[in-house]
């Protein structure tokens, strides 16, 4: 069911799967419960690349050959989803642990994989399709969802899928954000974060294409009921995109490995990675191309900070980049929970360390709400935050810093060594710390974390933790 011999393992490094994942995400978001959970809790708008990386890492762990890793990841996912519940704009409850909802998420992944093969002109044989379905059933079972929430046979699955599409899916806010906002306003991945003009030009061309291809690939009954637009030539464009993506499979082995490509997107030119020198040279060439774009296009000039710069940023910029993790324009508990979730994922925390970090952030939220929520609506607006110009380094934030240090300091020696530092920051000491290449003391860590979170300064080390897209 899992590991190198599985159908999914072959799927994971297939370039067509990128289109399939986008399609599956849209179908997930069209489910009222999933859409509400995404709108209220997800960082997919403000931090889409981070969300993508975490999703790919999770899928690798779940479909890998190591059963212990799979069990740990399943437990982590269950803890994550247990924290996601509430009500949507129509006062309907949602719960990310609802087994029927979790089954639908797995169903969209399977069906999008089958559709991916079909649209690229290489439909799966019946035996391969049945094997892939069995693997996704095993995936759902590994998450602890009992049998019966996905139909037992492939024939029954298609009946279940068609019924869900025709009767339960809606044109949700999350779906509209993905199709009409995310692609048009997608922030640059870390690799291209210093090239805003080049990225804006590429996004202006690729964004509408991805949106059109995705809409054209959705089930026709849902497109009609949701009122999604019919763009002339969209079906031809969609099939061409899938066929073209399929041709990338014939590139030399290793060129399109998902893990390597994802790591490359997150590679900074000032990293200690051996590939960084090539990336730095590429950045230089692309900046010159960006200068040309600025001469012939209306894209606004966005000056970049100097390498290693820790310049001051405004309260509004800090609010958007760091505090508002969900990108909804307000600061509330889901934003701080997203911070705890990202840090827990980076450090691969188990219990009770994970809950200790969440609890520390929960106490900080109470402190922030008490100090900043002047109108009593249960959340903090950008205006409330900017007007108060608060010093955020209160006792609760200090506790967050201390708990984060303890979680990072795996061996408990009260120092963060090179390996522990790389786990949290994904880079080496000498690139981000001044005056040492050996250890990071508790006091220095807490001081730097508080300076970043309350002083609103850019930080080469800390920006990638919470501000990076």
Predicted confidence band of residue 240 (pLDDT cuts 50, 70, 90): very high
The 10s digit of each residue's pLDDT in 286-297 is 556 555 555 555
CB count, 10 Å around CB of 214? 22
Partners of residue 85 on adjacent β-strands? 95
Q: Which residue has the tokens 């001051």?
A: 312
Quick one: CA dihedral 434, 438, 443, 448, positive or negative?
positive
Task: Provide the CB-side half-sphere exposure for 445 (13 A, CA).
Answer: 24
d(CA 325, CA 332): 9
d(CA 400, CA 465): 14
Q: Residue 32 in contact with residue 87, Cβ under 8 Å?
A: no
Q: Span 412-432, mean pLDDT?
A: 82
> Is the pLDDT reported for residue 129 higher than 50?
yes
Q: Residue 423 in contact with residue 408, Cβ under 8 Å?
A: yes
- Lowest-confidence segment of 28-42, 145-159, 443-457 by average pLDDT: 443-457
Predicted confidence band of residue 397 (pLDDT cuts 50, 70, 90): very high
What's the confidence (pLDDT) of residue 233? Answer: 93
Mean pLDDT of the chain: 85
Domains defined for the chain, CATH in brackets: 7-248 (no CATH), 315-466 (1.10.238.10)
The 10s digit of each residue's pLDDT in 320-379 is 989 999 999 999 999 999 999 999 999 999 999 999 999 999 999 999 999 899 999 999
């Amino acid at each position: 069911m899992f590991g190198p011999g599985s159908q999914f393992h072959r799927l994971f490094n297939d370039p067509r799967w990128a289109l399939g994942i986008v399609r599956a995400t849209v179908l997930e978001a069209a489910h009222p419960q999933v859409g509400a959970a995404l709108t209220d809790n997800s960082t997919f708008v403000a931090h889409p690349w981070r969300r993508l990386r975490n999703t790919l890492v999770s899928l690798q762990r779940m479909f890998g050959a190591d059963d212990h890793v799979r069990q740990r990841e399943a437990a982590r996912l269950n803890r994550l989803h247990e924290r996601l519940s509430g009500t949507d704009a129509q006062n309907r409850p949602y719960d990310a642990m609802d087994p029927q909802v979790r089954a639908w998420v797995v169903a969209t992944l399977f069906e999008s994989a089958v559709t991916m093969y079909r649209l690229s002109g290489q439909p799966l044989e019946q035996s391969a399709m049945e094997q892939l379905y069995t693997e996704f059933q095993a995936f759902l079972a590994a998450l602890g969802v009992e049998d019966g929430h996905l139909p037992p046979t492939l024939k029954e699955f298609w009946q279940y899928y068609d019924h869900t599409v025709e009767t339960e899916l809606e044109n949700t806010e999350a779906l509209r954000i993905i199709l009409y906002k995310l692609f048009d306003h997608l922030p640059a991945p870390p690799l291209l974060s210093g090239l805003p003009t080049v990225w804006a030009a590429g996004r202006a061309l690729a964004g509408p294409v991805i949106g059109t291809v995705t809409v054209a690939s959705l089930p026709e009954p849902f497109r009609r009921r949701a009122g999604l637009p019919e763009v002339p030539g969209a079906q031809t464009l969609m099939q061409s995109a899938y066929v073209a993506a399929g041709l990338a499979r014939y590139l030399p082995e290793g060129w399109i490995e998902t893990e390597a490509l994802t790591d490359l997107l997150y590679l900074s030119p000032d990293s200690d990675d051996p590939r960084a020198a090539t990336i730095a040279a590429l950045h230089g060439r692309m900046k010159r191309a960006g200068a040309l774009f600025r001469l012939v296009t209306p894209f606004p000039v966005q000056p970049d900070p100097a390498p290693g710069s820790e310049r001051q940023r405004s309260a509004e910029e800090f609010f958007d980049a760091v505090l508002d993790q969900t990108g909804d324009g307000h600061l509330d508990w889901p934003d701080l929970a997203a911070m705890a979730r990202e840090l827990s994922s980076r450090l691969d925390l188990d219990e009770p360390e994970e809950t200790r970090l969440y609890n520390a952030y929960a106490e900080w939220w109470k402190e922030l709400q008490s100090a900043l929520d002047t109108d009593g609506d249960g959340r903090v607006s950008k205006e409330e935050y900017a007007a108060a110009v608060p010093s955020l380094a209160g006792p609760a934030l200090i506790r967050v810093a201390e708990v984060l240090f303890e979680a990072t300091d795996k061996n408990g020696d009260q120092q963060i060594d090179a390996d522990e530092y790389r786990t949290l920051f994904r880079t080496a000491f000498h690139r981000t710390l001044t005056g040492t290449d050996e250890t990071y003391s508790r006091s220095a860590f807490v001081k730097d974390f508080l300076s970043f979170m309350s002083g609103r300064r850019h930080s080469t080390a800390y920006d990638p933790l919470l501000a990076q897209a």
